[in-house]
Structure 1
Amino acid sequence: MTLVLFCLACASASAAATEPCPPARAGISDLGFTAYQENGQFGGSNVDLLRELQRRTGCPIELIWFPHGRLYAQFYDGQLELTGASLRTPERDRYGIWLPYTYTQFELVLRNDSAGKFHSLAEFVEHSKARLNVPRGISYSPATLVQMQRLQQLGRLEFVNDYQAVFRKIVAGRAEGTLASPTIHLRYQRQHQLLGQMRASFFAESPRTIVGLYISKQVPPPIRRRYVDSLRSIISDGSVQRYNAHYLGEEISRQMFLGGVQDILDAMPREP
């Protein structure tokens, strides 16, 4: 396995050295430890991955920050060659090719005084009066969307610009919780001194799923293949797990990748 990865890296480096690669614009947005801005700098596991992808492909990648709701409009309009962390959807598939690289799972995150033993979002809708805030532009499972619609009809769900706004409203007492993965909510709990004041639990409507990035169909196939080969090597050599462990700790990263990465590699397109 080590020899195979070494050969892949050598092939990638050789291609990068001999074939010109046009610059790419990658859209990123506020997603906690996945991507964030701090003191004028970008950080997060997805940012680390994109920088490593630049190194292994030899393709310059410019990171551009957008509100999450605007990012995909820019991608659909041909203004971006790459997206940051993305769940796969039919609409996004019309404009780009999805390249998987990690896992995610939404949790129901509530202040302690509103938390309960909710095994599903349906139970939360029926047995709580707590209000949720969520950002615009986030993709959810169909089963989750059904319960979110119920919450909206009850006046218990509000859409805001980003997760920063979500947690500001929780601190201000204008909402009691949100839906977010650990990668997202742990950063904002730490930032707003909410650790120990909130509880997070997985819910039945949102199983663990694979996250990827999109590469525009406008990118020529030979360049797309270069990205796929480099991303495959980043996944196979454990780099993605290390990026997550750096921000979340070893235990959470281990749980995220329980069972390994073969499902991710199997989902990688063969002819990008």
Structure 2
Amino acid sequence: MNATTRSVWWAWGMLAAATAQAACSRPMAVPMAPVGMSVSFDGERSSGLYPTLLRELGASVGCEFQMQRVPRARLQKLFETGQADLLVPASASPSRDPHGEFVPLLQVRATLLSLSQGKPAPNSLAELVAQRDYKIAVVRGFSFGPAYEQAMTALRAQQRLVEESDPAGVARALRLGLAQGTVMTANIFIGTLALEPDLAPLMPQVRSEPLEELGWSESGLYLSRHTLGEADRRLLRTAFAQAVRSGRVWRLFVDNYPAGSLNGNVKPL
């Protein structure tokens, strides 16, 4: 066992000791949708870094997380209507704040992703909206902040937005030429390509370009204000914060994603 692994398990041990008298009041409902290597399913069995994190944390603090596969487009509605205790993974968004307490786990930066093309890509969301021959494919329910949402609303009104249920659908839309680019974090997109045999050959073609309005922001999860009492939220908030401080969250990203796919779009808090 190396020094990093020892420190991680020591931190989990300390967390377990600190919460020995506490446990979640009931099983936690956590609907999830596949998203690259972060969340995947084999039938109903969930895997990926976020299910792994939840299982480790649950074993340490006495919480059961009941993870169930649902379409990405349903997640936000389930959370808003009190049918989900956690929304994970999720970017911080003002529209979600009335429904949940945000817990940051890492920093992300969405970029404009495309397959190798000859013509220059837009440098900003404003330029993207103004470039009338450029279509964008996105995943329904993804959000990367107000500037992103405003740009997508404008593109939708111009009928230049292709909306798919998951990142694999976005990749196939780009391959077919239905759209010229997508906006998301590169690790999600590349992780999806790596898991899909018919899409894996596209990996060397992926181009990532920063967009002026989209800087670094926090990503993590939301704890429901509708379904969770303060004691459960406090326990989970503390547990996730400790997972961040111990380096376990970042180690899961490094271990799960292809080398280089995190550069410029994901970094620790």
Please give the range of the TM-score, normalised by the shorter of the 2 chains.
0.7 to 0.9
Q: Distance in 2 between matches of 1:32 and 1:252?
A: 12
Which residue does 1:213 correspond to in 2? 221
Structure 1 residue runs of 5 or longer lacking an equivalent are 262-272
Query: Of 62, 67, 72, which aligns to 1:63?
Result: 67
Q: Distance in 2 between matches of 1:150 and 1:82?
A: 30
Q: Do residues 72 (structure 1) and 76 (structure 2) align?
A: yes
Query: Of 185, 191, 198, which aligns to 1:187?
Result: 191
RMSD, aligned α-carbons: 2.8
DSSP-derived class of the 2:174 partner: helix
Shifted more, 90-99 versus 140-149: the winner is 140-149
- Count matched residues: 258
Identity %: 24
Q: 1:141 to 1:211 in 2, by over 3 A?
A: same
Q: 1:87 to 1:108 in 2, by over 3 A?
A: same
Q: Distance in 2 between matches of 1:126 and 1:18?
A: 54
Structure 2 residue runs of 5 or longer lacking an equivalent are 1-5
Amino acid at match of 1:27: P
- Alpha-carbon distance, 1:243 to partner: 0.8
Asked if 1 retains the 8 angstrom alpha-carbon contact of 2:111 and 2:185, the reply is yes
Which residue does 1:166 correspond to in 2? 170
Q: 1:257 to 1:125 in 2, by over 3 A?
A: closer
- Alpha-carbon distance, 1:152 to partner: 3.2
Q: 1:257 to 1:156 in 2, by over 3 A?
A: closer
Write out per-residue CA displacement over residues 179-238 of structure 1, whole angstroms, 9 at most, x where no aligned residue: 110221102333302012221112111111101211122322222221122112111111
Q: Distance in 1 between matches of 2:15 and 2:214?
A: 39
Structure with the larger helix share: 1
Q: Distance in 1 between matches of 2:59 and 2:118?
A: 46
Q: Do residues 224 (structure 1) and 233 (structure 2) align?
A: yes
Query: Of 148, 151, 158, which aligns to 2:152?
Result: 148
Write out per-residue CA displacement over residues 136-187 of structure 1, whole angstroms, 9 at most, x where no aligned residue: 1111322233433443344322222222221222223322221110221102
Q: 1:9 to 1:224 in 2, by over 3 A?
A: farther
Q: Distance in 1 between matches of 2:191 and 2:206?
A: 13
Amino acid at match of 2:202: L
TM-score, reference length from structure 2: 0.83
Which residue does 2:243 correspond to in 1? 234
Q: Distance in 2 between matches of 1:7 and 1:166?
A: 39
Which residue does 1:22 correspond to in 2? 26
DSSP-derived class of the 1:139 partner: coil
Q: 1:93 to 1:21 in 2, by over 3 A?
A: same
Amino acid at match of 1:243: L
TM-score, reference length from structure 1: 0.82
Query: Of 53, 56, 59, which aligns to 1:52?
Result: 56
- Alpha-carbon distance, 1:81 to partner: 1.1
Q: Do residues 102 (structure 1) and 106 (structure 2) align?
A: yes
Amino acid at match of 1:208: W
